[in-house]
């Protein structure tokens, strides 16, 4: 029997479609395999990107020269522009403002063929430390209300370059999905005086069926009402609302879990394209008791079609309990 399940944070129902149930091998996904460099993000082509904002590089190397292990550069084709004021205005019943924002690219490694699944823990930790530092820096700009960090891996997941990279976009507006998570978790707090994600973690740890992996600091789980097959959340076990307040050791722990999960995913699903998105509290909120930062990872296995676009109601052919079991079974 198919099941309707409701996300406990935002109240979004999904359809877990057992009649169309699919096993890991049933998804016909092209594995992501780099066709080859060098590309504009490779060492030696530093002049092909806009000048670097920050980099992880030895002190004897020069800015925009070789020798780096990670670079952050402005996106060459930014969705938003860094200069200017918002100048909100109306047009009859419509509202608009200037598209002011920051759009940056984190080049995660000089190695065109590496990935977060194969890089060392230290190198992956540098990526997450860089996210933290960029958020802290962009927070100083009073025009911005939110920084969303995300990754498109593989062409089918929206990547236009195959060299390992992630991105961030700072906006003068809190994105609607974060607003919905804030509203849902605040309502839960008002009723229970507990963080809904902390409650989810407690219940999942007892239940075990949807837990993929765990460490002292982090838990990897398949959510109860996932929109997509093998949708995965990674959360800090201790309550934390602002990602940018994480310490070095915490982010090293996160790097370890992200690497572990991506290797399980690659073994289970054949190195699929994927997206990840970091949900943290808005820049001006500070530490809030009801929000809990988390990383959402979505392998790109199915097409989103008319029903989903028209309803917001996702049909998911992979029950999360089965997905978690398959991922756990891929552990070495």
Phi then psi for 122, rounded to 5 degrees?
-60, -45
CB-wise, 245 or 308, nearer to a copy of itself?
308
CB-wise, 25 or 203, nearer to a copy of itself?
203
Choose, from 112, 165, 239, 292, the residue flagged as catalytic: 165
Minimum distance, C-beta of residue 60 to a copy of itself, in the bound complex (Å) = 35
Minimum distance, C-beta of residue 158 to a copy of itself, in the bound complex (Å) = 3
Q: Tell me how far apart the alpha carbons of residues 148 and 164 are, in angstroms, rounded to a whole number.
A: 18
CB-wise, 134 or 252, nearer to a copy of itself?
134
Residue 153 annotated as catalytic: no
Minimum distance, C-beta of residue 224 to a copy of itself, in the bound complex (Å) = 5
Minimum distance, C-beta of residue 320 to a copy of itself, in the bound complex (Å) = 11
CB-wise, 68 or 228, nearer to a copy of itself?
228
Q: Tell me how far apart the alpha carbons of residues 297 and 221 are, in angstroms, rounded to a whole number.
A: 10
Contact 218, 236 (CB under 8 A): yes
Minimum distance, C-beta of residue 142 to a copy of itself, in the bound complex (Å) = 17
* Strand order, beta sheet including 232-236: 54-56, 70-74, 102-107, 165-171, 146-153, 274-279, 294-299, 232-236, 218-221, 211-214
Long-range CB contacts for residues 5-11, cutoff 8 Å, separation at least 24: 5/224, 5/225, 6/225, 7/223, 7/224, 7/225, 8/184, 8/188, 8/196, 8/199, 8/200, 8/224, 8/225, 9/181, 9/184, 9/185, 9/188, 9/196, 9/197, 10/177, 10/180, 10/181, 10/184, 11/184
Q: Tell me how far apart the alpha carbons of residues 234 and 294 are, in angstroms, rounded to a whole number.
A: 6
Q: Tell me how far apart the alpha carbons of residues 77 and 113 are, in angstroms, rounded to a whole number.
A: 24
CB-wise, 28 or 216, nearer to a copy of itself?
28
- Catalytic residues, by residue number, are 165
């Amino acid at each position: 029997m198919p099941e309707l399940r409701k996300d406990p944070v935002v109240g979004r129902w999904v359809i877990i479609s057992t009649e169309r149930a699919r096993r890991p091998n049933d998804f016909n996904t092209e594995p992501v395999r780099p066709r080859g460099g060098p590309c504009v993000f490779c060492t030696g082509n530093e002049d092909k990107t806009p000048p670097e904002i920050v980099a992880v590089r030895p002190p004897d190397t020069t800015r925009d020269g070789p020798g780096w292990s990670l670079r952050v550069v402005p996106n060459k084709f930014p969705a938003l522009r860094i200069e200017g004021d918002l100048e909100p205005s109306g047009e009859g019943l419509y509202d608009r403002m200037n598209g002011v924002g920051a759009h940056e690219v984190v080049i995660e490694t000089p190695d065109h063929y590496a990935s977060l699944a194969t890089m060392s823990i230290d190198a992956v930790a540098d990526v997450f430390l860089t996210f933290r530092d960029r958020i802290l820096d962009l927070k100083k700009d009073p025009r911005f209300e939110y920084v969303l960090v995300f990754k498109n891996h593989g062409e089918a997941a929206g990547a236009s370059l195959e060299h390992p990279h992630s991105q961030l976009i700072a906006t003068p507006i809190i994105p609607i999905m974060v607003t919905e998570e804030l509203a849902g978790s605040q309502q839960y707090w008002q009723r229970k005086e507990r963080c809904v994600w902390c409650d989810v973690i407690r219940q999942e740890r007892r239940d075990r069926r949807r837990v993929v992996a765990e460490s002292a600091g982090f838990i990897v789980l398949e959510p109860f009402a996932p929109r997509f097959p093998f949708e995965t959340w990674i959360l800090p076990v201790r309550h934390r609302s602002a990602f940018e307040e994480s310490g070095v050791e915490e982010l090293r722990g996160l790097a370890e879990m992200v690497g572990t999960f991506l290797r399980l995913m690659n073994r289970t699903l054949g190195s699929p394209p994927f997206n990840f998105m970091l949900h943290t509290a808005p820049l001006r909120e500070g530490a809030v008791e009801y929000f809990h930062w988390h990383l959402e990872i979505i392998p790109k296995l199915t097409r989103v079609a008319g029903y989903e676009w028209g309803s917001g109601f996702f049909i998911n052919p992979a029950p999360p309990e089965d997905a978690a079991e398959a991922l756990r079974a891929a552990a070495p």
